[in-house]
Amino acid sequence: MGSAVYTETDENNDTLKCFSVLLLYYSHNEMQELIKYGKKIVESGLAHSHFGNVSKRVGDQMLISTTGSMLDELEGQIVTVPIDPASPDELDVIASSEVNVHRAIYKATSALAVLHGHSKYAVVMSMLCKPGEQMQIVPEDSESIYFLHEIPVVTGGIGSEELARNAAQALRDHKGLVVQGHGTFARGATVDEAFVILSSIEHACMVKYLCDMARNK
């Protein structure tokens, strides 16, 4: 029987194992957080179950919901992909169809979480923006003005490079936006902060829509 000799390679392997365990631990927590907020988005009416998507940045990777998954049942439906892959990542085919928009936002801003919803009043208000006019929604209630200022409205097809570019550009100076005729994107330093922004945009748009209705009665 030979005696075991602990070498430098063993030490390196142990260090790698420790990092892997740590990464798994953090990924598990981040995953649980995304599952929780996916449910909250649907419960709050900020997206229907089969629409919207959520992601969270962990270092140079992001956890993101898969395409076609139900936002209120994300268990086993979250994948990890690189923020800035050298070539298309093999998991991109099952990641959200808007993975490129999330990537562009992470690359252009300090966001650590990005949420996407399809809330009704935000979509309606964005559709009332006319080409040639300033593409933004200006809230009327004081809370929304304080937190959101004006809400940019951007264009671009679902998951398109145009949308990725426009959303990333708008979110450099704002925490949330509405994609015209489509839905909302919010960024945050935490998932909770992004959720507050997503909710606030819908609240601002609902109040503004109802005020406009009341005035035109």
Contact 116, 183 (CB under 8 A): yes
Residue reference for tokens 């990333």: 168
What does the alpha-carbon distance between residue 217 and residue 80 come to, in Å, rounded to a whole number? 51
Yes or no: say if 178 and 195 are a contact pair by the CB < 8 Å rule: no
Closest to Zn ion by CB, 39 or 149: 39
Residue 38 or 183 with smaller CB distance to Zn ion? 183
Q: Report in angstroms how near the CB of residue 35 gets to Zn ion at its nearest.
A: 19
Length of the chain: 217
Question: 60 or 125, CB closer to Zn ion?
Answer: 125
Find out whether 185 and 115 touch, Cβ atoms under 8 Å.
Answer: yes
Smallest distance from the beta carbon of 182 to Zn ion, in angstroms?
6
Chain center to CA of 11? 39
Nearest one of 153, 132, 131 to 208, comparing CA atoms: 153
Cβ proximity to Zn ion: between 139 and 183 the closer is 183
Residues 6 or more apart from 58 whose CB is under 8 A from it? 23, 26, 27, 30, 80
Q: How far is the CB of 108 from Zn ion (least distance, A)?
A: 19
Minimum Å gap between C-beta 43 and Zn ion is 18
* Least distance between Zn ion and beta carbon 71 (Å): 11
How far apart are CB 186 and Zn ion at their closest, in Å?
13
Residue (51 or 149) nearer to Zn ion, CB: 51
Element (H, E) at 21: helix 8-43
Which C-beta is closer to Zn ion: that of 152 or that of 183?
183
Applying CB under 5 A, the residues found at the interface with Zn ion are 183
